[in-house]
Amino acid sequence: MISVKKNLLWAVCGTSILASGLASAAETTLHVATWLPPTSSQNSIVWPTWKQWVEKATEGRVEVVIENYTGDPKTIFDAVEDGVYDVGFSVNAYLPGRFKLASVAEIPGEITDAEVGSVALWHTYEKFFKADQEFRGLELLALFVHGPGQLNTNFPVKSLDDLKGKKMRIGGGLVNTLAERLEVTPVSAPAPKSYEMMQQGVVDGTFLPASQQMTLRLHEVTTDLILFPKGLYTTAFSIVMNPDTLDSLSKKDQDAIMSVSGEKLSRLAGAAWGKEDQDGILEAKANGVNVVYLSKDDAIVKDMDKLEEGIDQAWIDSVSDRKVDAKAALAYFRKNVSELSQ
């Protein structure tokens, strides 16, 4: 029976409670771990939007609370798997060897639009990768990529020779192969460490999309932003949920959450991260960073294209231990990218 106190509360502010998504009616709270700054589109757009979607789809029975994760982003997957958090996201390559299939999206030159790449990656996962169960122990909610990775440096780059021996922060995945071919000195670290490492002179530059000139304030520690027409690589991210948490919900609410995840959430995240690139370029220009736009006819771009040849085969070889037809998956991914780009 509803108490007199509760009756009074409903009489006074029932309308406002309904308008806020029936937050007071929540039966379950999902704690979401995020590790990027508030300026990131993941925190300003993706999580707030998904929160609204979930709370509306579950008619207020499930509330989403977004919390700052102060640990290493590499540990997010374990934190979700262990039930410390219910939902989180991170870079697949931060755990080398565990999530290898989605790195099909990291092959240089495959993606120029983050939304297209994210949707194509989700489609490819559903058709080819899901059966391999790389995400056992986790419930995969979405896959996405950021915009094309570029060169953020504190030195000018007029030819690939200018990169030889330079200390460059890398995040893992197929960009490691590219870094090796470029003969840079790779320094592995999560993206948020880039600012500190460049400020302290630990590295001379970092491989990251242009968006991070704004999000991670790289405009304060870089002198040059070199933009290749197709970028140099992309990075695959996963949004995951603790399966026990999902199983604890009613079938109705499980279905509701999945209905606003999958391709829908992948598209949202890709679109949001892709839009950040232009904002990052504007931020760089406004703060005096030398922004270099390269064209496909520039010698350095042609040299980079040659250097990248065969990295697609490197991905195929890297997943040979998986129960997947990698060649067919790559062809399907490319077909999706082409069709979605039209």
Digit-by-digit pLDDT tens for the chain (342 residues) are 333 222 322 222 333 333 344 445 689 999 999 999 998 999 999 999 999 999 999 999 999 999 999 999 999 999 999 999 999 999 999 999 999 999 999 999 899 999 999 999 999 999 999 999 999 999 999 999 999 999 999 999 999 999 999 999 999 889 999 999 999 999 999 999 999 999 999 999 999 999 999 999 999 999 999 999 999 999 999 999 999 999 999 999 999 999 999 999 999 999 999 999 999 999 999 999 999 999 999 999 999 999 999 999 999 999 999 999 999 999 999 999 999 998
Residue from 22, 28, 18, 24 nearest 244 by CA? 28
pLDDT of residue 217: 97
- HSE-CB at 340 with a 13 A cutoff on CA atoms is 23
HEC per residue, 286-338:
HCCCEEEECCCCCHHHHHHHHHHCCHHHHHHHHCCCCCCCHHHHHHHHHHHHH
What pTM did the predictor assign?
0.89
Tell me if 177 sits within 8 A of 96, measured CB to CB.
Answer: no
Burial class (CB in 10 A: 0-12, 13-18, 19+), 297: exposed
Backbone angles phi, psi at 207, to 5 degrees: -85, 110
Beta bridge partners of 43: none
Residue 50 contacts residue 64 (beta carbons within 8 Å)? yes
Using CA atoms, how far apart are residues 106 and 238, in angstroms rounded to an integer? 13
